Amino acid sequence: MRKGAHTLWECQYHVGWCPKYRKNLFDDDALREFVWKIFEKIGVEYEVEIEAMEIAADHVHLLVMIPPKLSVAEVVRTFKSISAREVFKRFPGVKKKLWAGELWRDGYFVKSVGSGVTKENVKDYIETHKEREGNPAQLRLDLRGEPKRAKDTPRLAAG
């Protein structure tokens, strides 16, 4: 879990995308290592924690924790655009291998990743909230059992 001034969050995603035309660009160790380092720098700069990363010959996978102030689309766009610009500067020959002169294919894969929270937990919580005593706004989801009243919930520090 991460804390912000007024938020408690854990937003993890498995994201992936491919080079244009699914070319095997990352057979080249120097290029793969360069992209790896660029991704690490982007993660630090944009407060995106990279928990796992693989750069295969024709695609990339990242397990990332993204702050709720950023959308997945923004993060992927940032990784793709900055890395493309930097790759073309450092490895000008790569652009010649790509007919349209774009490094990355349009689109990406994304799947949210949970830590003990299942769709069923959340759905059950929402569907049964009226059966619980008290105002639903005063309840919180406790993944280990029944929802607890707000008075039992630790407060976040004032920011």
CB atoms within 10 A of CB 81: 13
Q: Helices marked H in 17-135 — which ranges?
A: 29-45, 72-90, 92-97, 119-127
Burial class (CB in 10 A: 0-12, 13-18, 19+), 128: exposed
Q: What one-character-per-residue DSSP string does 14-41 give?
A: EEEE-BGGG--GGGSHHHHHHHHHHHHH
Structural contact between residues 42 and 82, judged by C-beta atoms closer than 8 angstroms = yes
Per-residue pLDDT of the chain (159 residues; tens, 9 = 90+): 888 888 898 899 999 999 999 999 999 999 999 999 999 999 999 999 999 999 999 999 999 999 999 999 999 999 999 999 999 999 999 998 898 789 999 999 999 988 777 778 878 877 887 776 555 454 455 555 554 544 444 444 444
Residue 125 is a catalytic residue = yes
pTM greater than 0.85 (yes/no)? no
Q: Report all structural domains of the chain as residue ranges with CATH numbers, in order of start.
A: 7-113 (3.30.70.1290), 119-152 (no CATH)
End-to-end CA distance of the chain: 17
In terms of DSSP bridges, do strands 8-9 and 12-17 run parallel, antiparallel, or are they unpaired?
A: unpaired
Dihedral of the alpha carbons of 87, 91, 92, 93, in degrees to the nearest 10? -120
